[in-house]
Chains A and B, each alone.
Chain A
Amino acid sequence: MFEGLSSWLEQTELHSIFSDTTHLATWLIIPLSQTVHILGVAIVMMAVGMMNLHLLGVQVTRQSFAQLSERWMPWLWAAMGVLFLTGAIQTIAEPTREFMNNTFRIKIVLLLIAVAITVIYRTQIKKDPKYWDLSGEHRTLALGLASLSLVLWLGIVAAGRLIAYVGAIDEF
């Protein structure tokens, strides 16, 4: 399936533009896309870092989780949009580098789980502003999800950088 997808992408107009290293304007596309991707990562790391640390009881700020969530979620989703867009650009430019790589696939799986946890944070906090309070009845769940979420996001960052080094599927 991924081979087919890669082959199809390699025949598109966008791919020829993005992967054209002979002209400066198009040569810049991949490095600039990666740079914007890094900036997006910084925003996401701040958002999930602050929310998860708060759930773990670390007093980063005086704001409640409900307030943190209110402020940071828009930035988080906006950054995720940018990350998806730049990720798409990079994948269209070099389809097999992403699709035919186990590290990339692992990254996406980790990402889906991490996003699911973030959605759980949001849906519950909107119904009950005190849902995730450590003094409340969902203490264990809060600690568990926050620990898992932090590990996942760090894993996603690591996997992202390691795609360049490991995981390439040779025989295809």
Chain B
Amino acid sequence: MLDILKWIDATAMAEEIRVSVWIFPALEVAHVAAIALVLGSIARVDLRLAGLASRDRSITEISREMLPWTWAGFALATLFGVLLFVGQPLRYVEVAFFDAKIILILLAGLNMLAFEYLTRRSVGRWDRAPIPPVQVRLAGGLSLAFWISVVICGRFIGFV
């Protein structure tokens, strides 16, 4: 693992990101914009799942509107995030907040998978329910908590 990171650290691309005056700031801006897209869109879905907002619209309708943006945003955020990481791989793996962030992203993903393959099967019964069943509300609440925690950890990486 360490060897791979050392190899990445020694590449010309990593060096370029480190020494350039504008590349890192530009990557950060792009990363933040992508995050806003992920968070804003998933929050909308999660708040509906939790029965806290847009209760007059069906869950499938809101999901269909928002999730493409979530995925697009996530793809972009990951792309820019990887490039940010490449600049100083050895440093970031030492930062607890970075590790926590990755774990939380994985947990958020697992939560979404669990919802998709387990809970969502019965969607016909609660799609229009203003207050969905408890396991649906839990999925929404957990998702929101995970993603907000990801943002917190992400921001704190820059402070330690």
A→B interface (CB under 8 Å): 30-32, 34-35, 38-39, 41-43, 45-46, 49, 60-62, 71, 154, 157-158, 160-162, 164-166
Contacts and interface: CB of A to CB of B under 8 A. Distances in A.
Given A35-B151, A157-B32, A164-B25, 10 more contacts: A31-B156, A35-B156, A38-B39, A43-B43, A46-B36, A71-B54, A157-B29, A157-B36, A160-B32, A162-B25
Contacts of B148: 39
Contacts of A42: 35-37, 39-40, 43
Nearest to A32: B152
Given A38-B155, A60-B65, A71-B54, A46 B29 contact: no
Contacts of A71: 54
Contact of B25 (A41, A43, A161): A161
A43 B40 CA distance: 5
Please classify the interface of chain B as helix (H, G, I), strand (E, B), loop, or mixed, using the class held by over half of its residues.
helix
A46 B25 contact: no
A46 B65 contact: no
A62 B61 CA distance: 10
Contact of A161 (B29, B41, B152, B156): B29
A38 B25 contact: no
8 contacts: A35-B151, A38-B155, A41-B32, A42-B35, A46-B41, A161-B25, A162-B29, A164-B25
A71 B2 CA distance: 50
A49 to B, nearest CB: 7
B29 A49 contact: no
A153 B33 CA distance: 10
Contacts of B54: 71
Contacts of B44: 46
Contacts of A46: 36, 40-41, 43-44
B127 interface: no
A161 B155 contact: no
